[in-house]
Structure 1
């Protein structure tokens, strides 16, 4: 080794390096690694006024000559090994320049690396929400850290590991692939879908797979779960998938038992029998879209020539004809017209939720507070729930309200208009 090579090695050793504060081998119940004033394990060297460095965080500094302690840029020290010899700081290797790395690899190795950047199925772009996120070569906290992602950076995510906590990741900026953890038990959300409002709670993997059109992953999650949870913190899985136009995933969720959502597309699919649903599932995304559009047009045309509700029908007429039912979500004009035919009610409790279905566990869609009045169009079989319509920023919508509660008593009370603009409450 020449002097120049030796000098380069010494210079490289003197440069600050990044290390991962790892608890994978130590398995400590503490919150992190304690700072020290000097490279010593004595109690006097401990810095108690500062919080410990959290596990799985990244630190930068230079190693002491004996390699036992890392001197941080702020002057404090961290032990590389515990007193029992367990390593708690793992160096994150610096990535070599692309030209130098390519020169070291054979043609076969380069081809293998290019292939490893491509994961199967559609990807989705996510944004890094935490200050730093480790980029690893496997779905485990003990896997080698290939580098780090910083807050605000954008990466493309693909499939999940078996636990559903890690996802395949491609960092197009540096042309590298690996795995990232989506949520940390102490630090919270690490990555979230780009362009969406921040959701603190972990996302439902089943809903995300359906929303991103990852049909194979959706099938895997459905086969794995004994009790399928269709709810995501952002809304029902089938509604999220429909908003992204993932009709095949919507159909699969309906076949698995999803009850939420009342759009015309979902209403049309719910009218199909099990055999027809299975046949539709074999269609491509574009074929399924054309089928639904055609079915909706046919339903609208049939409804146009259907007899009015008040018209009488002679015995024997209409036999053998197929009765066309309207979609669950009616056009805004029809819903608005129905609102005039209902019975006027007033909210007499502090606040009452409007839910998608007549069920206390159904999705919440809106709320009414004490003193507000609304029209109840019909009641469910129990008589405890009433259907109503209401305005939203996108038009008219409908839902169900509980009229009385076993513990809180009356929630809504019938009232009527005296014809002069005054509301009369029954005594």
Structure 2
């Protein structure tokens, strides 16, 4: 990955290489590919479910290590975290991919679209409504209110990670520390749900927003 040898990387991934393995310096293949500007490798690793960030405080993630804005924009686009200001760079990056990597990128974007559609179709259920009343396991944290039709709670801070819970518009949840990218916050409740919540989506806007307790009490 660090040398941009995408064909070798594809072969290793097909043989079962863990896309999130770390080297002696604690860097994953995705971090090394991002650092080296190896666009094709970045795409193949993301399709293999490589995670861009880590929950270890003070540890850099793939975006922070990106060698250029083009690499960073590609990462954001394929992680569902892009913004209009980075879309041109992402389009340019997609144009620089090999055919195999471009097809892989298309598959990733199709998955993202399907995942967003799944979340948007979530309907209120008794267990979801009841979950809003569950207290947080630990003290502290910041109270947020769901600002979108529905948001997913994911096992890891990645849009590719497994969904372990869901909240709908108007429900509140207490979120704790952020991941290395600052885009996700940890969720923890007495309902045995633990995971991560994405704060902002590049197309949908703020998925959750902080609740100002004083404003609510005075209203």
TM-score tier, shorter chain, comes to: 0.3 to 0.5
Query: Which protein is richer in helix relative to its size?
Result: 2
TM norm structure 1: 0.20
TM-score using structure 2 length: 0.37
